[in-house]
Amino acid sequence: MGRYFWRGLWTWLPLGMTVVAALWLIKTVDSWLGPATALMVRKIVPEWLLAGWCETGHIPGLSLVVTFAVFTLLGWVTSWYIGQRLVSLVDYIATRIPLVKVVYATIRNIGKNVERQSDGGAAGLGKIVRVKEAGYEVLALVTNMLTLPQEDGTTEDYYSGITPFFPSSARPILVKVKDAIDTPMKPAQLAEFVASLGTVVPPEWRHKLEGIKSAVAEIPDAESATKTA
C-alpha cells in the first residue's frame, strides 16, 4: 500500500501544484489589471453579447493574455529606431534619480543578460561548468563573460557566475574559460538537482553513472583474485 501511495502522490502532486500556481498567477494579474481589462471588454464587445455570462466584462485569465500581448508589442516597438531612442531616454532619466537608479540598473542588466541568452547572442551564458574551488570540483552557472587584462599585457577570457547552492551558500565565481569544464546539464536541470539535494539526476549523468557502476562491477576484488591465484 505504501508503495502505491507514494507513486500516486509523486505522479499527481506536480500536476496539482502546477494548476495551483497557474490559478494563483491568473488571480494575481486579474487583481491588478482586472478592472482595466473589464472596461476594455465593455468598450469593445457589444452589450447584448455580454448580457448574462459576462455582464461586468470580467473574463478570468484575460488580464494575463493582455499582459503577454502588451509586452510582446512593446518588445516589437523597441526593436525599431524610435523605440530604441525612447528606451535610451528612459535609461538616461532613471539612472540619474538617486535610489531609483540602483534598482533600475540592476533589473535592467539582469534583463539584458536573459534577453541575450534567449536570443543565443551570448556564447557561453547560461551554461553549467565544473570549476575548482577550495580543492573541490563544484558546479557553477555561467552568467557573464569577461575579457580581463593579464600581468604580461595580454588578455584572457573569463566566466563569471555563481555556484547555485542557494539560498545561504551561493557564491560568485570567476574562472578562466580554458580552466572550466563544460557539462551537459542545463540550468533547469541544475535547479532540480540542487533543490532535490542531488536525488534528481539528469539523464546524461545517470547513464554515465550506470556505465561506471557496470565497469566497476566487472573488476574482480582482491579476495576473488587471491582465491583464483
Please report the DSSP string for 195-215 in residue order: HTTT-S--HHHHHHHHHHHHH
Strand segments, DSSP code E, in 31-188 are 128-133, 136-149, 155-163, 171-176, 181-182
CB atoms within 10 A of CB 20: 10
Residues 51-60 have a mean pLDDT of: 77
pLDDT of residue 222: 47
Of the pLDDT bands very low, low, confident and very high (cuts 50, 70, 90), residue 191 is confident
Mean per-residue pLDDT over the chain, rounded? 78
Is residue 161 a contact partner of residue 150, using CB atoms and an 8 Å limit? no
CA 13 to chain centre: 22
**Entry field: residues in the chain:** 229
Whole-angstrom distance, CA of residue 225 vs CA of residue 219: 10
pLDDT (0 to 100) of residue 221: 55
Whole-angstrom Cα distance, residue 105 to residue 100? 8
Q: Is the pLDDT of residue 64 over 80?
A: yes
pLDDT at 163 over 70: yes
Q: Which residue has the higher pLDDT, 85 or 197?
A: 85
- C-beta of residue 138 within 8 angstroms of C-beta of residue 196: no
Q: How far is CA 98 from the centre of its chain?
A: 30
Q: In the structure, what pLDDT confidence band is assigned to residue 225 with cuts at 50, 70 and 90?
A: very low
Distance separating alpha carbons of residues 98 and 106, to the nearest angstrom? 14
pLDDT at residue 164 is higher than 60: yes
The C-alpha cell at 36 is 482595466
Kindly list the domain boundaries of the chain, sorted by start residue. 2-119, 128-215
